[in-house]
Amino acid sequence: MPEPAEKAVELFRQMNKNRRDIFKAYQGFTESIKKGSSIEGKYQSLILIACSILTQCDMCISLHVQNAATQGATRDEIIDAGLLAVAMGGSPKMMYMRYVYEEVDKLFD
């Protein structure tokens, strides 16, 4: 079975194939936010991990954990970002820490 990040990449391919105009516009919008930000890339990724947990998106969690690690975030920083989301969202959000731990175990062990 494909991993959450692989599922997301396949979804992006499908969106790009079926509605390239909309997908490219969305990508441009998100890229302009990131590039125009005063927040360093690593911290953007950590924030996005917390947002992904709050929105309960396993594919997003997987992608953003990988991006955070690529941007230089440590295992502890990634886990702490997830735990901040749990602090805001409570027990239901804690269940999504599973995806954070799965990714950091693959990336850091």
User: What is the per-residue pLDDT across 32-72, written as a single tens digit (0 to 9) for each?
Assistant: 999 989 999 999 999 999 999 999 999 999 999 999 999 99
DSSP 8-state secondary structure symbol assigned to residue 1: -
Domain range list for the chain:
4-108
pLDDT at residue 2 in the model? 65
Q: What percent of the chain has pLDDT over 70?
A: 98
Q: What percent of the chain has pLDDT over 90?
A: 89
* Angstrom distance (rounded) from CA 74 to CA 65: 10
Decide: pTM greater than 0.85: yes
Contact (CB, 8 A) for 76 and 51: no
For residue 49, count other CB atoms closer than 10 A to its CB.
30
**In this structure, what is the dihedral angle of CA atoms 69, 72, 78, 81, given to the nearest 10 degrees?**
-130
CATH superfamily name and code, 4-108: AhpD-like (1.20.1290.10)
